[in-house]
């Protein structure tokens, strides 16, 4: 079935969707994005994603393509048109194009490009991968320094995913100056003696929307949380570990660099946080 997508004010069959070959998102990765999950036909934490999108645009001095309410309407219409009960809505804003390639930004009156599409993911909440747990490897973090801006510069994270796949694993955690920054597309955590440890916010990591929600829910559940730098060896010595992201929610980690955590199955804190997150997010979905 052909999806309906959104491109610069138009709802189109995906086979008819086009952007200019001179679009700066295509030529320079001069674009930002967000991915919002859909459960029960409703958007999960749309407000958080809209706020982070605005921050990313501001940091890059990029114009907003539309208002937050207009963006919400587009999300909802795409979910409806494509019959999404469980899945994702991908949104991308680029600086647009003035009709040619130039390293210098186009004039301020150049309209940004806005593209959205849905991905149908039946069983997203009841993921078999979450019941099994993920195996990860560690790799060097050689990305640019502003990881807090959610740009489409995702070549190295993609390479990291492939490194993990070639090693027979599911994902990779990135290491910089001896410390874990984050996963290729998620925030990273470990649990030791009941305490959840994760890296504090800075320009070194993405300010995860799911991260923020999960840490709030952990505090409300009276779980102990410590935000500090940690090494991969600390994580390998943990009782359990997990990641968070908008598309995978809370994903237990059961192996790091070949070292099995606990008994090799998803740990109790990760499983409980996943349950809480899914329950609370469904209640608050719009």
- What is the per-residue pLDDT across 212-239, written as a single tens digit (0 to 9) for each? 999 999 999 999 999 999 999 999 999 9
Active-site position among 150, 166, 236, 283: 150
Q: Which of 88, 142, 133, 103 is nearest to 255 (CA)?
A: 133
Q: Which of 120, 140, 172 is the last residue of a domain?
A: 120
Asked if 71 and 145 sit in the same domain, the reply is no
Q: Which of 234, 239, 243 is nearest to 260 (CA)?
A: 239
Mean pLDDT over all residues of the chain? Answer: 97
Whole-number pLDDT of residue 248: 96
Asked if 110 and 212 sit in the same domain, the reply is no
Give the C-alpha separation, 141 to 126, whole Å.
31
DSSP output for 240-268: EEEEEETTTEEEEEEEETTEEPTTSS--H
Work out the pLDDT band at 1, boundaries 50, 70, 90. Answer: confident
Q: Which of 103, 120, 137 is the last residue of a domain?
A: 120
Asked if 159 and 275 sit in the same domain, the reply is yes
Q: Which of 120, 139, 164 is the last residue of a domain?
A: 120
Give the C-alpha separation, 73 to 75, whole Å.
5
What CATH number is associated with residue 22? 3.30.470.10
Asked if 250 and 144 sit in the same domain, the reply is yes
39: which strand partners?
42, 86
Asked if 8 and 86 sit in the same domain, the reply is yes
Q: Which of 186, 181, 178, 211 is nearest to 199 (CA)?
A: 181
Average pLDDT of 69-77?
98
Helices 268-284 and 209-220: crossing angle in degrees, nearest 10, is 110
Whole-number pLDDT of residue 133: 97
Asked if 258 and 198 sit in the same domain, the reply is yes
- What is the per-residue pLDDT across 120-177, written as a single tens digit (0 to 9) for each? 999 999 999 999 999 999 999 999 999 999 999 999 999 999 999 999 999 999 999 9
> What's the structural domain count of the chain?
2
Asked if 166 and 263 sit in the same domain, the reply is yes
Whole-number pLDDT of residue 179: 98
Q: Contact at 8 Å (CB) between 37 and 49?
A: no
Asked if 116 and 156 sit in the same domain, the reply is no
Give the C-alpha separation, 148 to 145, whole Å.
9
Active site residue 150: yes
Average pLDDT of 183-196?
97
What CATH number is associated with residue 270? 3.20.10.10
Asked if 275 and 166 sit in the same domain, the reply is yes
Which ranges in the chain belong to alpha helices (H)? 24-28, 46-59, 68-81, 128-132, 155-166, 209-220, 232-236, 268-284
- The pTM of this model reads 0.93
Asked if 193 and 175 sit in the same domain, the reply is yes
Per DSSP, 76 falls in state H
Work out the pLDDT band at 252, boundaries 50, 70, 90. Answer: very high
Asked if 188 and 272 sit in the same domain, the reply is yes
Instruction: Identify the residue whose tokens are 């004039």.
Output: 107
Q: Which of 271, 267, 265 is nearest to 250 (CA)?
A: 271
Its domain, for residue 269, covers 128-284
Angle at CA of residue 253, ends 275 and 47, nearest 5°: 50
Asked if 152 and 247 sit in the same domain, the reply is yes
């Amino acid at each position: 079935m052909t999806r309906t997508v959104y491109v610069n004010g138009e709802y189109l069959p995906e086979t008819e969707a086009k952007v200019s070959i001179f679009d700066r998102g295509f030529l320079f990765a001069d674009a930002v994005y967000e991915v919002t999950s859909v459960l029960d036909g409703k958007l999960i934490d749309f407000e958080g994603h809209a706020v982070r999108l605005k921050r990313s645009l501001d940091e890059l001095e990029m114009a907003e393509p539309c208002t937050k309410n207009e963006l919400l309407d587009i999300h909802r219409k795409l979910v409806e048109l494509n019959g999404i009960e469980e899945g994702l809505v991908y949104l991308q804003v680029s600086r647009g194009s003035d009709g040619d390639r130039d390293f210098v930004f186009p004039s301020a009156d150049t309209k940004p490009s806005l593209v959205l599409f849905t991905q149908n993911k039946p069983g997203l909440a009841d993921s078999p991968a979450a019941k099994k747990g993920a195996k990860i490897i560690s790799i060097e973090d050689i990305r640019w320094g502003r990881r807090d801006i959610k740009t489409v510069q995702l070549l190295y994270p993609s390479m990291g995913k492939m490194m993990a796949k070639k090693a027979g694993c599911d994902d990779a955690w990135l290491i910089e100056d001896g410390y874990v920054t984050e996963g290729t597309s998620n925030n990273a955590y470990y649990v030791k003696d009941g305490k959840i440890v994760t890296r504090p916010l800075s320009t070194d990591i993405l300010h995860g929307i799911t991260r923020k929600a999960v840490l709030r829910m952990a505090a409300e559940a009276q779980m102990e949380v410590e935000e500090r730098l940690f090494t991969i060896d600390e994580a390998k010595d943990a009782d359990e570990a997990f990641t968070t992201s908008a598309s995978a929610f809370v994903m237990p980690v059961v192996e790091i660099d070949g070292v099995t955590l606990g008994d090799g199955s998803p740990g109790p804190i990760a499983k409980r946080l996943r349950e809480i997150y899914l329950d609370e997010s469904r209640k608050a979905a719009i």
